[in-house]
Structure 1
């Protein structure tokens, strides 16, 4: 009886290999051959699961999004029932920042993917809608008078992520910058609005 292969599991194995190649050597080094070698499979097998590099890249970004969502869910669940908006926003952003080895690897892949899609808009179809939803969610966590700052909060997160990935900021410095910005939106963390 032939062995059953889990299609999603095999595609994830290939996506993980793509992410390791991209994290080490940059996205320009990603090819079906390099990914196959990294995954320990044949190039034909990679082509069986992904017809194009764009398809492989989109699936890998989906894996990164799933991992990021799992980190957010874990961080938020540790806050308990009905956390204050500031704590919820801080937990979410902290979970997304590249502060661990795993999140740094995912961050490098996400950054490479954004550069890749900057010249291939068709490979980035769903990101605009996701970004709009994220801005709306963040706006809902901000004080009513500051909801227009939601896009700026996300821009701060992205900038801190770049500085962390590039080594310009330590984790401590990035988190201090985040807290200073949250103080400007909510008031000091130890004040009534910050709790």
Structure 2
């Protein structure tokens, strides 16, 4: 009997291979042949999962976007006791900025996709959707802080969320470039969160 192939599992494996290659050698290193070797599958298997290289890159970007969002959500859900809104917001922004050791490779991959967005409408659309979801999450956290009277009621949550996301994104670049350490970047984020509570 022929072996059953789990195509979704194979697609995820290929997406992880794309991310590993990008993290090591940049977007230019991504060829069907190299992805197949990294994923330990045949080139034919890659082509059966993805019609084009762009489809493969889009799926990899969607995969990493989902991972970033899920980690932020898990950080909030993992709190067994009620936490201050400022604590939840700080932890979430740190997660989104990809500052910890485990996220270092993911930060390189994320920035590689961002740098290629101007050349690809579909890549840009996925990034736009991801940032919109992350913005909604930060807005929710700020409004939660307003409900608990931790943050002033006059704050425009949507505007503050735009600022905080931009700061977190910029710090991702600074840490990858070696300008900030993860610790100093976290301290910058904390200062911005503390400013909201004043």
TM-score for the superposition, normalised by structure 1: 0.86
Name the CA shift for 1:101/1:2 in 2 (closer, same or farther; >3 Å).
farther
Instruction: Please list the CA deviations of residues 42-89 of structure 1 after superposition, one character each: whole Å capped at 9, or x if unmatched.
Output: 222111111112111111112212322332233213333543321221
- Shifted more, 144-153 versus 71-80: the winner is 71-80
Question: 1:175 maps to which residue?
Answer: 186
Question: 2:94 maps to which residue?
Answer: 94
Quote the RMSD (CA, aligned, Å): 1.8
Q: How many residues align?
A: 187
How far did residue 25 of structure 1 move? 0.6
Instruction: Please list the CA deviations of residues 103-129 of structure 1 after superposition, one character each: whole Å capped at 9, or x if unmatched.
Output: 111111111111112211233324324
Question: 2:161 maps to which residue?
Answer: 150
Which structure 2 residues correspond to residues 22-101 of structure 1 after superposition, within 5 A?
22-101=22-101
Question: Which consecutive segments of 4 or more residues in structure 1 shift more than 6 A?
Answer: none
Which structure 2 residues correspond to residues 80-159 of structure 1 after superposition, within 5 A?
80-142=80-142, 143=151, 144-146=153-155, 147=157, 148-159=159-170
Measure the CA separation in 2 of the matches of 1:181 and 1:46: 44
Asked which structure has the greater RCO (Cα within 8 Å, sep 6+), the reply is: 2
- Shifted more, 129-138 versus 175-184: the winner is 129-138
Q: Kindly indicate whether the alpha-carbon contact (under 8 Å) linking 1:85 and 1:141 is maintained by their aligned counterparts in 2.
A: yes
Name the CA shift for 1:88/1:12 in 2 (closer, same or farther; >3 Å).
same
Q: Kindly indicate whether the alpha-carbon contact (under 8 Å) linking 2:75 and 2:91 is maintained by their aligned counterparts in 1.
A: yes
Question: 1:161 maps to which residue?
Answer: 172
Measure the CA separation in 2 of the matches of 1:155 and 1:118: 18
Name stretches of at least 5 consecutive residues in structure 2 with no aligned partner.
Answer: 143-150
How far did residue 23 of structure 1 move? 0.5
- Shifted more, 39-48 versus 119-128: the winner is 119-128
How far did residue 145 of structure 1 move? 2.3
TM-score for the superposition, normalised by structure 2: 0.85
